[in-house]
Amino acid sequence: MTAAIIGWAHSQFGKLGEETVESLIVDVANRAVADAGLEARDVDQILLGHFNGGFSAQDFTASLVLQADPDFRFKPALRVENACATGSAAVHQGLTVIAAGKARFVLVVGVEQMTTTPGPEIGRNLLKASYLPEDGDTPAGFAGVFGKIAQGYFQRHGDKSDALAAIAAKNHKNGVNNPFAQMRKDLGFDFCRAESEKNPYVAGPLKRTDCSLVSDGAAALVLTDTATALGRDKAVAFRAASHVQDFLPMSKRDILKYEGCGVAWQQALAEAGVTLDDLSFVETHDCFTIAELIEYEAMGLTKEGEGERAILEGWTAMDGKLPVNPSGGLKSKGHPIGATGVSMHVLTAMQLTGTAGDMQVRDASLGGVFNMGGAAVANYVSILQAIK
């Protein structure tokens, strides 16, 4: 355990028309530093997770963090990007900086503002996270990419519409208890399962309730080495951190297996010296419900093709053997691209310090995070434990 989280902040996620990328950054950066019991001058390095991809006219954003406090001036600041896993890429880069002895305190911020962009342009921007020579003309954009994945999964393993609806319903139910969530409404299984005017098909077998939300939002955290962390008010250490990158073209791999996700989980569990059974909960990347279903299999919760058991038998419910997405996940919380991975780590730290409020998993002691960029291309797993 070379590093730990000692402070954090999280904005509301949703349609935040009064905010800007800059204002969101400034807010969470200042609050995270204060939560860590530090001042801006104490921070040695700044990392900003910001996908952008056309969402923001301002495309040189690392120094926007300096707008939070003049004492950030002349600190090294770097923007990190790895598609939908941008936030975790920034967090893991912070771990690398600390392990290398280049910084004592690292501020990591994740941000995105998506809702001010017109709908068709949102689709084009998100599709940039796929392999354009093969997927660039996919109807319905990135949803269409995952719609094809869902169709392929159904063809191989049978119709799993009940499982997808149950995942959506679970995450929306959990999201009711998340004060940061964009949609705090328990939609219920029946609504998520049935096609309707309010829940039409979007791509392949995926309906609107199978797709994560277009969101604005930000989150931030402060990292330090574990020796220093033990002297702070709170400390959530990284038992493991794994990053696995896979081929971008889906044609070069079996897209129904999420092999990069599986390897990342295997590496992280081995590094932490634990098994999946030791985890108290997992925050996983449910950009689409089919993604969460396949991730059950990739993480080793079920055998290949049997992911539906985990949801239909209640394993991943709040009172199940491995609660998945107690925050409501991307499905309910929202998915501001650059902020998502940082948010996952913040919410996991809250769980492990017993400060998650109505979202709290009982007796949470070890948490897992899986954040994915593209269709299982960038795969990040963290395993966290409170040490103070």
Between 1.20.210.10, 2.40.37.10, 3.40.47.10, 3.40.50.300, what CATH number should domain 3-117+214-229 receive?
3.40.47.10
Express each pLDDT in 250-292 by its tens digit.
Answer: 999 999 999 999 999 999 999 999 999 999 999 999 999 999 9
What pLDDT, on a 0 to 100 scale, did the predictor assign at position 2? 87
Classify 240-386 by CATH class: alpha beta
CB atoms within 10 A of CB 198: 11
* d(C-alpha 128, C-alpha 136), whole Å: 8
Q: Where in the chain is the domain with CATH 3.40.47.10?
A: 3-117+214-229, 240-386
Q: List 371's β-bridge partners, or say none.
A: 380
Give CA separation, 164 vs 90, 99, 259, in Å. Answer: 30, 40, 20
* Nearest CA-CA partner of 324 in 305, 298, 355: 298
* d(C-alpha 327, C-alpha 282), whole Å: 10
Q: Are strands 45-49 and 77-80 parallel, antiparallel or unpaired?
A: parallel
* d(C-alpha 201, C-alpha 85), whole Å: 26
Q: In what order do the strands lie in the sheet with 216-225?
A: 77-80, 45-49, 105-113, 216-225, 3-10, 236-245, 378-386, 367-373, 281-283
Give the burial class of 243: count Cβ atoms within 10 A of its Cβ; 0-12 exposed, 13-18 middle, 19 or more buried.
buried
What pLDDT, on a 0 to 100 scale, did the predictor assign at position 26? 98
Taking 70 as the pLDDT cut, the residues of the chain under it are none
Tell me the one-letter amino acid at 227.
A
What pLDDT, on a 0 to 100 scale, did the predictor assign at position 1? 81
Give the burial class of 314: count Cβ atoms within 10 A of its Cβ; 0-12 exposed, 13-18 middle, 19 or more buried.
middle
> Under the phi-then-psi rule, with left for phi > 0, alpha for psi from -120 to 50, and beta for the rest, what region is 102?
alpha
